Structure 1
């Protein structure tokens, strides 16, 4: 099962809709369920998708050297891809990750599906909770 916050889910669908007819590929990051203020009624270690990394961050370095500087090391084991013309499953053109979310028009809640690395469909649970607040503390 894949868990995602409502806010991230809706933001990804908006991003896909705005980019249509182009495809969108976004690296996703998770927060452990135990970090949420609300009880999510899942194992505390369960990752909940809460954030995304901007798709164009580090694009020029990646194009020249093949290194992704837009995603911090150890993060981003999930990916969101949009398929404006279908299909509603991963394709060979997609960048695979441990979990991949695929969205197709009409860009509503029923248009997002989750899959594992091998393409097996997983359950997707949209969590009605806000991720923990983060800040950039200065020492």
Structure 2
């Protein structure tokens, strides 16, 4: 998502709450696959210091594909995701494999889970595994415009 670690790969950061939610939903959705858009919050927007550069994106939100489903099905336009958001995806492979396939929807970062739904692996769009750091932090509360 930004910067490189000592191994030369781009580290991915996510909140524990998001990871727990994704694994719970994956287990509940099985045997169906999940394919949802993820969004990030800049590390500097968190109330606590996360120990990373303030501009580092931390995956913290998920957009479930419900809003605008009919338009998406017909025209391929996802109205459930705000414009300019969601450069990451979460996918599940209930029957395996534990790697990206040619049939997967790709994004800059893809988080992938397979049964027994205990671990998520991060990949770049080329299928290279990335380091995933899970942070015990809550993203700032968001409010809807009045």
TM-score bracket, shorter-length normalisation: over 0.9
Residue of structure 2 equivalent to 1:119: 127
Task: Supply the distance in 1 between the matched residues of 2:78 and 2:34 (Cα, whole angstroms).
Answer: 16
Residue of structure 1 equivalent to 2:94: 84
Structure 1 residue 48: Cα displacement: 0.2
* Alignment gaps of 5+ in structure 1: none
TM-score by length of 2: 0.90
Indicate the larger mover: 66-75 or 120-129: 66-75
Q: How many residues end up aligned between the 2 structures?
A: 136
Structure 1 residue 64: Cα displacement: 1.1
Structure 1 residue 56: Cα displacement: 2.8
1:63 aligns with 2:73: yes
Question: Structure 1's 60 and 137: CA in aligned 2 closer, same or farther, altered over 3 A?
Answer: closer
1:10 aligns with 2:20: yes
TM-score by length of 1: 0.94
SS class of match (1:17):
helix
Structure 1 residue 60: Cα displacement: 1.0
Deviation track 1:16-60 (CA, whole Å, cap 9, x = no partner) reads 000101100010000000000110000110000000001233221
Task: Supply the distance in 1 between the matched residues of 2:141 and 2:92 (Cα, whole angstroms).
Answer: 28
* Alignment gaps of 5+ in structure 2: 1-10
Deviation track 1:45-89 (CA, whole Å, cap 9, x = no partner) reads 000000000123322101111211111111000000011111111
Please point out which of 31, 34, 54 is paired with 2:44.
34
Task: Supply the distance in 2 between the matched residues of 1:125 and 1:27 (Cα, whole angstroms).
Answer: 19
Give RMSD over aligned pairs.
0.9
Runs of 4+ in 1 over 3 A off after TM superposition: none
Task: Supply the distance in 2 between the matched residues of 1:137 and 1:52 (Cα, whole angstroms).
Answer: 19
Task: Supply the distance in 2 between the matched residues of 1:123 and 1:58 (Cα, whole angstroms).
Answer: 34
